[in-house]
Amino acid sequence: MQVQPYLNFNGRCEEAIAFYKQAVGAETEMVMRWKDAPDPSMCSDANRDKIMHTAVRIGDTVIFASDGRCEGTLKFEGITLNLSTSDAAEAERLFAALGAGGQVMMPMSETFFAKRFGMLADKFGVAWMVMAPK
């Protein structure tokens, strides 16, 4: 069994994928667009070229994502993604890359459980913890 996060970027999925490719080396495994849905009534002019479903690999984990129906406000609450690396310098690099345009909630520092640990919300509002455990 696997648990895989599913993130809804409300119209900004393509931008998010490009950001994660640059920031953490994410790789797109597959993409389905709304225009390719078997039921044409699911597709509107507004979402035609938007992403209905994608699978993005970050390290050993696959994260699912979508543009959703492109309605409402983009908001991520109650979930944090954790990114672990064995190397403190790599943790610092990933933290800086994910934090570009975002908001640091806890700067990188040494803790009782990690060589380096920090928390941030990226520019899309996705919360991340980045760590190099002891």
Give the tokens for residue 128.
């991340």
Low-confidence stretches of the chain (pLDDT beneath 70): 72
In a domain, 94, yes or no: yes
Dist CA 68 CA 107 (whole Å): 32
Asked if residue 61 belongs to a domain, the reply is yes
75 assigned to some structural domain? no
Statement to judge: residues 55 and 18 lie in one domain:
yes
pLDDT of residue 71: 72
Distances (CA, A) of 58 to 49, 83, 91, 115: 24, 9, 14, 22
Reported as a single tens digit per residue, the pLDDT across 102-115 is 999 999 999 999 99
Q: Is residue 73 part of a domain?
A: no
Q: Please give the pLDDT value at position 126.
A: 97
Domain annotation covers residue 29: yes
The verdict on 58 and 86 lying in the same domain is no
Distance separating alpha carbons of residues 123 and 38, to the nearest angstrom: 33
What is the predicted pLDDT for the residue at 78? 92
> Which CA distances in Å does 74 have to 16, 120, 125?
12, 17, 8
In a domain, 1, yes or no: no
Alpha carbon 32 to its chain centroid, in Å, reads 17
Do 85 and 62 share a domain, yes or no?
no
Please report the pLDDT score of residue 112 as a whole number: 97
Residue 17 burial by Cβ neighbours in a 10 Å radius (0-12, 13-18, 19+): buried
Say what the pLDDT of residue 70 is. 72
User: Do 12 and 62 belong together in one domain?
Assistant: yes
What is the per-residue pLDDT for 75? Answer: 82
Q: Does a structural domain hold residue 74?
A: no
* pLDDT value for 4: 92
For the domain that residue 54 is a member of, what is the CATH number? 3.30.720.100
101: nearest Cα among 129, 76, 124 = 124
Q: Which domain holds residue 45?
A: 6-66
Task: Judge if 61 and 92 occupy the same domain.
Answer: no
Say what the pLDDT of residue 130 is. 98
